[in-house]
Structure 1
Amino acid sequence: MSAAAHVGHGLGLEPVTADWPALQQADVEQVLAYFPQLLGASSIDWHSPRPFAAAARVVSAQGAFFIKRHHRRVREANWLLEEHRFVEHLAERGAAVVKPLRGSTGSTVLSLGDWTYEVLPAAPGHDLYRDALSWTPFLSTGHAHSAGQALAALHRAAEGFEAPRRATPVLLANLHLFAQHDPLAAISGAVRAQPALADYLAAQDWQRTLQELHLPFHRELLPRLAQQQALWTHNDWHASNLLWRDDSATAEVASVLDFGLSDRTFALFDLATALERNGVPWLELDHGGRAAADLDGVDALLAGYASVRPLSRDDLLTLVALLPVLHVDFALSEIAYFHGIVGSRASADVAYHAFLVGHTEWFRRAEGVRLLDHLRALARQRA
């Protein structure tokens, strides 16, 4: 597969030209020179369609492994090490993750020119959602239930990891800006510090939009945030980031992948993200659909989670308050990435209009209200 032919997942239903050129065999051989435990004949047998980095599955006499390449403007070595230290903590606590491999330099990260590389062993399990787009539902309620259990187990394993929030400036999912008492002032500060974000937002009436659309939800959320205990979390809990023990409708999670958006947030932020990623078919909105929430999948995910970490009435009401705005920080991060690093105004427009604005607007329409009312009804059952 040539760089020119490489396509990936974009922000809609159709495949797009990937942001970054595909890994080539020469790239693999250059990286493996620093990993003597993997030296020998090898070949690429699959290129990941996921955005933000180039990744490939490589097969050799030593077995299968993955090489992932990031541009240094997206992930410098120290920024990637933040993620790796979290994964290593999880592995030591028995979580279903695989630790990145260490090279001859002694590090799990390799910097070569403009690129930052990581190498990971193939995780156990069936990749049932390998081609699934984000914001598409689980194939079964059995998968949703097991995903909820696995997320709760991951949160238990994450306890005790006390690193500060990440220094990585782009492509993180958290609630740092929108958790502030004055989120518009916090976002204005971020805009001043990020020229690309400032340049893009200069053409948008973003302050009035957030004030009218987002701040009413923020006022409901803010009093609940003081009750949340800080925790490092996954922040991209989608079925495609999970491997499964078999290919049945009742398969359990075997492995957890891709901690690229992980950061110090709190457990309910991660759980709300899982509900948003898997419970709402957002991409239907691109074609005039209603994006009806998968309430059976939502119930199964919550039931699986609560079987490991019980959920109180207040927890469910916090999820209600979180869901309409949990994406704000990540949407702004995507805008900075697309406009400032990739140079795609069109993708930045999608991140702003369809993601930052469109997702919150959905929660004011019939289907979003239906989902929030459903969660409120579950909360009343725990009263």
Structure 2
Amino acid sequence: MAHAADPDAHRVHGMGEALEAPVWPPITAAEAAAVIARFPAAGRFAALRWHSPRPFSAAALIDTDRGALLLKRHHCSIRSVAGLAEEHRFIAHLADAGLPVPQGLASDDDASAIAIDSSCYELHVAAPGIDLYRERQSWTPYLSRDHAYAAGGMLARLHEAARDYAAPPRAPAPLIASFTILPAPDPLATAQAYVAARPRLAAFLATRPWQEQLAAVLTQHAGGLAERLAPQPSLWTHNDWHPSNLLWTPQGTVRTVIDFGLADRSCAVQDIATAIERMLNWLDLPQTDAIADPAAVTALLAGYAAVRPLGAADRATIAWLLPLSHLEFALSEADYFTAVVDDPAAAALAWDGYAIGHVGWFATPPGRALLATIRGTGG
């Protein structure tokens, strides 16, 4: 087997279970050396250690004479220097509040990211902790209920740390987990405006009855949701809380929270719903409906509540949100696959499979049982 740092052997997670050739070429040694020369605290490049299998950017662990670093490259159509600065300011706020997050390095012009040609780069000190889940897909269950409990507690700590972070929502960009549709008094009209602002996405969706599809799932699951969400305080959230975005201690607690690429302003219950959505074995559909572990979800909620209380109304709102919690990011994925990389098959999977298809699972017996468990009415 080729070494993990061999660019020719590199594969990334696809939209299904198979590994695929990367859309974004892996970072090369020469590229890494040139980029870190722009970061005074980075030291001199020594070697590439590992290429990340995450598909929407290129990232690599590198060794320098001052230690290990994580270098991440984005196409500037996805993340600009200003866009990366939005999430870096949030990370810095969390660090000041005592949350274990990656430490970013500043460039020679005192920025948290740099642009070279059509690419934007960010550089962080390699975060401490064991990367137990790094080869697993985003929709991956926790290896144990203790892990789920620890993850819930750390998510609550993040929400506590974010309470006084006053930044506005991020500027629109591909692959941002914004939260504008479900809280709106008229979510369908808000979704129509979201799509209209993205011409390539609008052209793609025009080939299918997307408004009728969306109206049907909103009617089924979103009635009264805006009223339920109104009392929820707005705050910046992680928006991609799954086990491979956490680094672990040998004792099974969370050592570091990583990957704030989807972070934006939403609310705590949406972030919790997203964390539960990421625990489901969606890639096992349609072979089986048994894609949930209600006991693990209970553990995550218990871990959260041990740090930050969850009332009955909060749990009910999480259950209402869960079937639609992935909607806005699925639209953003479809936009990425139409406007950035021109992959209509992946765009179709994002809309037909993820945005609409997954909603139907919550009407199955396992889906209804999970919602009952979240509400606290399950057996």
Q: What is the TM-score with the length of structure 2 in the denominator? A: 0.96
What is aligned with 1:258? 259
List per-residue Cα deviations over 1:88-120 (Å, max 9, x = no partner).
Answer: 000011111123110111011111110010000
What is aligned with 1:95? 99
Aligned residues between the structures? 375
Following superposition, the deviation at residue 216 of structure 1 comes to 2.1
Q: Structure 1 residue 275 and structure 2 residue 276: aligned?
A: yes
Matches within 5 A, 1:287-366: 287-366=286-365
List per-residue Cα deviations over 1:115-153 (Å, max 9, x = no partner).
Answer: 010000011111111111111100001111100111101
Following superposition, the deviation at residue 52 of structure 1 comes to 0.9
Instruction: Give the counterpart letter for 1:312 in structure 2.
Output: G
List per-residue Cα deviations over 1:153-181 (Å, max 9, x = no partner).
Answer: 11111121100000032111132123211
Matches within 5 A, 1:1-383: 5-246=9-250, 248=251, 251-278=252-279, 280-285=280-285, 287-376=286-375, 378=376
Instruction: Give the counterpart letter for 1:309 in structure 2.
Output: R
List per-residue Cα deviations over 1:214-249 (Å, max 9, x = no partner).
Answer: 332111422201111001000001000001111x5x
Instruction: Give the counterpart letter for 1:164 in structure 2.
Output: P
Partner SS state of residue 36, structure 1: coil
Following superposition, the deviation at residue 196 of structure 1 comes to 1.0
Instruction: Give the counterpart letter for 1:184 in structure 2.
Output: L
Following superposition, the deviation at residue 41 of structure 1 comes to 3.8
Whole-angstrom CA distance in 2 between matches of 1:292 and 1:34: 46
Partner SS state of residue 11, structure 1: coil
Whole-angstrom CA distance in 1 between matches of 2:78 and 2:240: 17
Is the CA contact (8 Å cut-off) linking 1:101 and 1:119 kept in structure 2? yes
Q: Which deviates more from structure 2 when the two are superposed, residues 97-106 or residues 287-296? A: 287-296
Partner SS state of residue 278, structure 2: helix
Following superposition, the deviation at residue 5 of structure 1 comes to 4.1
Is the CA contact (8 Å cut-off) linking 1:316 and 1:379 kept in structure 2? no
Is the CA contact (8 Å cut-off) linking 1:293 and 1:367 kept in structure 2? yes
**For structure 1, which runs of at least 5 residues remain unmatched after alignment?**
none
Is the CA contact (8 Å cut-off) linking 1:84 and 1:99 kept in structure 2? no
- Cα RMSD of the aligned pairs, angstroms, is 1.5
**For structure 2, which runs of at least 5 residues remain unmatched after alignment?**
none
Whole-angstrom CA distance in 2 between matches of 1:337 and 1:291: 30
Q: Which deviates more from structure 2 when the two are superposed, residues 36-45 or residues 112-121? A: 36-45
- State, as a whole percentage, how many aligned pairs show the same letter: 43
Instruction: Give the counterpart letter for 1:92 in structure 2.
Output: D
Q: What is the TM-score with the length of structure 1 in the denominator? A: 0.95
